[in-house]
Each structure stands twice: as structure tokens, then as C-alpha cells.
């Protein structure tokens, strides 16, 4: 089996933070949001939100666009789909290994009894 190219480590680093996950959740629901709107209802300053959005942007998870004086942020889910595909490949490989181990243990147990 040919291994798929693994996702960027920056993607997993970006997803490893609870605040960034909550920003992704907000963007899933609200589609396009300004930094100000994303900071509303949180303990974060706009500057802190911008910093987290920068990390997400570097990982390819969000994109921004200018609308008048505002910058709106939108989720870009393609890197998540790539990571999901890679994780599915890893899962299938481990399941196959565990199935072989299970068969070996069953066969070993059967030959001992």
C-alpha cells in the first residue's frame, strides 16, 4: 500500500489549541465573521483573536477577505479533508494489524487447547 502524503504539522499544531478550535466552530456556524465579531462573547481581545486567526491562516484553515473597512474571516475546510483522508489511511493500517494480531492470538489459543 502506498502511503499518502501526511498533512502539514502546522495543521495539527493549529488544531491543538482549544481557542482556535472554538474559532473554527464559530466560523462553521456563522460563515464569515470579522475579528470584532469573533471576539464578542469571549475573554479574548481582538488582537488575541487576530493572532489565533493568523495561526489558522498559516495552516490553511481560514482565509480573509476585505469588505469595505472590515476583514471577514472564512473557514477553508480542504486541509481538514486532507487530514481526515490521511487519518483514515492510518486507521485502516492499524485495524489490519490488529486483525492479524487477533487472528494470531486466536490460532495460538486454539492450538494450546
Domain ranges of the chain: 9-76, 77-113
Residue 37's φ and ψ, nearest 5 degrees, are -65, -40
| Terminal-to-terminal C-alpha distance of the chain | 36
Q: What is the pTM for the complete model shown?
A: 0.78
Q: 9-76: which CATH number, 3.40.50.720, 1.10.10.10, 3.20.20.140, 1.20.120.1810? A: 1.10.10.10
* Rounded CA Rg of the chain: 21
pLDDT per residue of the chain (113 residues) written in tens, 0 to 9: 455 678 889 999 999 999 999 999 999 999 899 999 999 999 999 999 999 999 999 999 999 999 999 999 999 989 988 888 888 999 999 999 999 999 999 999 888 87
pLDDT in the model for residue 109 = 87
Amino acid at each position: 500500500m502506498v502511503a499518502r502524503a501526511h498533512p502539514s504539522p502546522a495543521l495539527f499544531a493549529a488544531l491543538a489549541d482549544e481557542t482556535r478550535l472554538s474559532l473554527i466552530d464559530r466560523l462553521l456556524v456563522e460563515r464569515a465573521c470579522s475579528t470584532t465579531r469573533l471576539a464578542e462573547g469571549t475573554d479574548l481581545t481582538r488582537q488575541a483573536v487576530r493572532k489565533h486567526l493568523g495561526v489558522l491562516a498559516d495552516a490553511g484553515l481560514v482565509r480573509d477577505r476585505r469588505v469595505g473597512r472590515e476583514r471577514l474571516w472564512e473557514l477553508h475546510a480542504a486541509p481538514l479533508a486532507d487530514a481526515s483522508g490521511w487519518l483514515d489511511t492510518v486507521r485502516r493500517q492499524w485495524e489490519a494489524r490488529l486483525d492479524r494480531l487477533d487472528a494470531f492470538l486466536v490460532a495460538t489459543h486454539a492450538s494450546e487447547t
